[in-house]
Chains A and B, each alone.
Chain A
Amino acid sequence: MTAIVENKPAYDGKALDLTGRSGARAFKNTLATVLIVLAFVIAIIPLVWILWTVISKGYHLLLNAEWWSQSQRGITVRREGGGAYHAIMGTLIMALITAAIAVPIAILGAVYLVEYGKGTKVARAVSFMIDILTGVPSIVAALFIYAVWITVFGFNRVGFAVSLSLVLLMLPVVLRSTEEMLKLVPDELREASYALGVPKWKTILKVVVPTAFGGIITGVMLGLARVMGETAPLLILVGYSKNINLNPFEGFMGALPTMINQDRTELALQPAADRVWAAALTLILLVLALNLLARLVARFSTIKSK
C-alpha cells in the first residue's frame, strides 16, 4: 500500500498530509498503541489484585463443611468456627423475593413497550422512567422504602423491606434486557401467528416470549447478580443477625454483605478477618456464578434471525 502512495506526486496541501508515513505519524501511531495497551493493563490490575486478595485470604474457610452448614450463633469475634449458612440463606431468600416481585412486572413492562405501546407518548414516558430508575442509587431506593415501610406504615425493619428496595434496582435491569430480546424476535413469527388467527395475547405468550426466553433468563440472572451484592439497603432496612432466620417478615436477618460489614472493624483479630474475607469470597462466587450462568444461557439460546 505504501508503495503505491509513494509513486504519486507529493501533495503539498496543509490540511492533512497522507502521502507517506512520516516519522512523526509513525511515532504517534506507536505512542497511541502503547497508551491503549497500557490502559488495558491498568484496567486489569485491580481486577486481578482484588480477586487474588479475596481468594488467598478467604479460601481456606470455604473448604470446611461447617462454613456452608452452620451459623455464627454464639460465636464472638475472637473465636474461630461457625459458618455463613445464615448469611447465604438470607441473601438468597431476599434475592428470590425480589425476583418474584420484579420479574413479572419487568417482563410485562417489556411486553408493553415492544408489543403494545411502541411509539406512543406513554411508552416514551415509561422508557424514560426506566432510564431514571436505572440510575437511582441504592441508598435512595433504601431511603424510599424506609419512608414508606417504616415511617408511614410503622412496620419493623425486616428482610422483606430490603427485597422491596431491591425491586427498584432489579426492575430496570430485567426490563431493559427483556425489551432488547423481544425486539430481536422476528416479525415474521408474529405475523405467521396472526395469520393463523391466534389472538395477540396468545401470540405473545406462546410465540414471542418463548422465542426470547433464553435472553429473558439472562436478564433475570444479571439482575439477581446486581442486587445480591448491594449493602446499603441491608444497612438501613434490616439488622444483622448471627442466627438463622428464614422468615423475611419477622426479625433481623443475616446476609453476606452485612456479615462482612459486621466484622470489618475487627480485622486485627485473625478469626474475624478470616470470616470477613471468606464471606467476601462467598459473595463474589455467588455473583460470579450467576453472571457466568447468564452468559452460558445467552450463548446457547441465541435467537436465529436472518
Chain B
Amino acid sequence: MSSPDGTEPPGRPAGPEPKIEDLVDETGPALRFDALAEETDDDGRRTGGTAVATKDDSKKELALGPVGHLGDRLFSGLAHGSGAVVILIVAFVGVFLLALAIPALADNNSNFLFSRVWEPGGAEPRFGIAALFYTTLISSVIAMVIAVPIAIGVALFVTYYAPRRIATPVAHAVDLLAAVPSIVYGLWGALFFAPILLPVINGLSSALGWIPVFDKAPGDNVGVIFTVSVVLAIMILPVVTAISREIFAQTPISHREGALALGATRWEMVRMAVLPYGRSGVVSASMLGLGRALGETVAVMIILTVPNGNDPWDPSIFAGGETFASKIANNAAEFDSPEKTGAFIAAGLVLFVVTFLVNSAARLIVARSAPGAKRPRRNRRAGATEGASA
C-alpha cells in the first residue's frame, strides 16, 4: 500500500478536504491550473488576478504536470488507504478469531470437528461442532431448496409475465421483505407461522418417518429445524429474487425474439432462452442466499427450541437444535472466562470459514460463466436491493 497513514482517515488532524485545499493553494502550479479552469468555466468573468499567475511561470507548467500534485498524492493515498482498510478488516477478522480460538482449542478434551458435546467451561472443557454444523447446514440447505424455485418464479413473473404496471410494484414488494428485521421474522415465525406448519410437519413425518431425518418425536413441538428452514426461505427470498430478476432481464433480446419467431410459447421461450442464459446467475444467487441463511442468528434463536442436554442427539429435521449463530447468541451471557469465550469464538470462526467458502464459490461461478462475466449494471434499481446483489 502506498501510504500506511492513509489507512485511518478519521485520525487526521483536520478533515481531508479543507486540509488539501490549503496545501494546494501554496503550490504554484496548482493555483495556475485551477485558475485556468475557472477562467474558462466562468467565461471571462474572473480574468483579473488569474491572468497574472498564468503569465508568471509558463515553463513550470510543462515541467510539473497535474500528476505529481501534492493534493493528488494525498487524495490518492486516502483512496488507496481505504482499499487497504477493506483488505485489512477481512484479514483481521480471520486472524483475531483464530488467535482467540487457538488456546481454547488446545485445551479442548474432545474432537472439535467430530464431537457433539458442548461443555466449554470447567477444568476439562469438551466441545465439538458436529451437531452445530449439521443443524446449520441442513436448515440452510432446506431453506435454499424451498426459496430458489419460488424466487425463480417471482423473477420470471416480474421480468416476462406481469405487465409492466404490475411488475414494478411487485419487485418493490418483494424487496420490502428484506426490510423486515430478522427479530420480527423470529417473533412472527414462532408465534403465528409455526402453528400452521404443524399439519405439514405431522403429514411429512407420518409419510416419511421411516427415514431417520424425517422421524418425529411425539408431541406438538413446532420449534423445529423444518420451521426454521421455511422462515429462512422467506428471509432469503428477496436476495435470490433480486439477483435472478436482474440476470433474467439481461437475456439478449435476439435470443428471446428468435425463440418467439420460431413459434415458441412463452414458457418455451423462457426455457430455451432465458433460463440457460441465467443459469449461472441463479446458481450464484442461490449460494449467496445460502450464505445468508447460514449466518442468520436471531430468527433461528427465537424459533428453534434448544434440546435438553441429557436427551440423545436427534438428527431429525422435526426436532430442535442449535446452529452456530443461535448457539453463540443464546450463550452471549456466558462469555465470562477466556476458555468459554474461546470455544464460542472457535465456533464463530468455523461459521466464518463456511460462509467464506460458500460466498467465494458463488463469486467464482459468476466470474467463470462467460455470457454474464462482465455485465454492466443497467440502472440504480439493481443497486437498491439491500446491497445483497453485489
When the two chains form their complex, are residues A171 and B329 in contact, meaning their CB atoms are under 8 A apart? no
Contacts of A20 in B (CB 8 A): 263
When the two chains form their complex, are residues A283 and B181 in contact, meaning their CB atoms are under 8 A apart? yes
When the two chains form their complex, are residues A105 and B377 in contact, meaning their CB atoms are under 8 A apart? no
Contacts of A39 in B (CB 8 A): 149-154, 157
**CB of B16 to closest CB in A, whole Å:** 8
Which listed segment binds B: A62-70, A72-80, A111-119, A244-252? A111-119
Contact of A202 among B34, B67, B89, B265 (CB under 8 A): B34
When the two chains form their complex, are residues B298 and A123 in contact, meaning their CB atoms are under 8 A apart? no
Chain A residue at minimum C-beta to C-beta distance from B174: A43
When the two chains form their complex, are residues B341 and A264 in contact, meaning their CB atoms are under 8 A apart? no
Residues of B72-112 at the interface with A, using a CB-CB cut-off of 8 Å, are: 72, 74-76, 78-83, 85-87, 89-90, 92-93, 96-97, 99-100
When the two chains form their complex, are residues A199 and B69 in contact, meaning their CB atoms are under 8 A apart? yes
When the two chains form their complex, are residues A200 and B150 in contact, meaning their CB atoms are under 8 A apart? no
When the two chains form their complex, are residues A147 and B100 in contact, meaning their CB atoms are under 8 A apart? yes
**CB of A119 to closest CB in B, whole Å:** 12
- Is B252 an interface residue, CB under 8 A from the partner? no
Query: How far is B39's CA from A196's CA once the two chains are assembled, in angstroms?
Result: 10
Can you list, as one digit per residue, whether each of A106-134 has a CB less than 8 Å from chain B (1) or not (0)?
Answer: 10110111011100001101101111111
Query: How far is B88's CA from A168's CA once the two chains are assembled, in angstroms?
Result: 12
**Interface size class of chain B, counting residues whose CB lies under 8 Å from the partner chain:** 35 or more
When the two chains form their complex, are residues B74 and A201 in contact, meaning their CB atoms are under 8 A apart? yes
When the two chains form their complex, are residues B173 and A44 in contact, meaning their CB atoms are under 8 A apart? yes
When the two chains form their complex, are residues B80 and A116 in contact, meaning their CB atoms are under 8 A apart? yes
When the two chains form their complex, are residues A197 and B384 in contact, meaning their CB atoms are under 8 A apart? no
Contact of B295 among A50, A106, A138, A235 (CB under 8 A): A138
Query: How far is B384's CA from A302's CA once the two chains are assembled, in angstroms?
Result: 13
**CB of B301 to closest CB in A, whole Å:** 9
Contacts of B268 in A (CB 8 A): 25, 28-29
Query: How far is B325's CA from A147's CA once the two chains are assembled, in angstroms?
Result: 16
When the two chains form their complex, are residues B380 and A181 in contact, meaning their CB atoms are under 8 A apart? yes
When the two chains form their complex, are residues A260 and B262 in contact, meaning their CB atoms are under 8 A apart? no
Chain A residue at minimum C-beta to C-beta distance from B380: A298
**CB of B144 to closest CB in A, whole Å:** 14
Chain A residue at minimum C-beta to C-beta distance from B191: A267
When the two chains form their complex, are residues A197 and B83 in contact, meaning their CB atoms are under 8 A apart? no
Please report B residues at the A interface, Cβ cutoff 8 Å.
9-10, 17, 20, 30, 33-34, 36-37, 40-41, 66-67, 69, 71-72, 74-76, 78-83, 85-87, 89-90, 92-93, 96-97, 99-100, 149-154, 156-158, 161-162, 170, 172-177, 179-185, 187-188, 191-193, 234, 237, 241, 262-268, 270, 288, 291-292, 294-298, 302, 324-325, 328-329, 332, 335, 338, 341, 344-345, 348, 351-352, 355-356, 358-360, 363, 377, 379-384, 386-388, 390
Additional A-B contact list (18), CB under 8 Å, known A140-B351, A180-B380, A260-B187: A26-B265, A39-B149, A39-B150, A50-B184, A131-B359, A135-B359, A137-B297, A137-B325, A138-B297, A151-B100, A151-B338, A174-B387, A177-B383, A198-B34, A198-B37, A219-B383, A229-B183, A288-B176
Please report A residues at the B interface, Cβ cutoff 8 Å.
1-2, 5, 18-21, 25-26, 28-29, 31-33, 35-40, 42-44, 46-47, 49-50, 53-54, 101, 104-106, 108-109, 111-113, 115-117, 122-123, 125-126, 128-141, 143-144, 146-148, 150-152, 168, 171-177, 180-181, 183-184, 193-194, 196-202, 204-205, 215, 218-219, 222-223, 225-226, 228-232, 235-236, 257, 260-261, 264, 267, 276, 280, 283-284, 287-288, 291, 294-295, 298, 302
Of the A-B pairs whose beta carbons lie under 8 Å apart in the complex, a sample of 9, sorted by A's number, is A43-B150, A109-B85, A132-B356, A133-B89, A133-B90, A181-B380, A193-B37, A298-B380, A298-B381
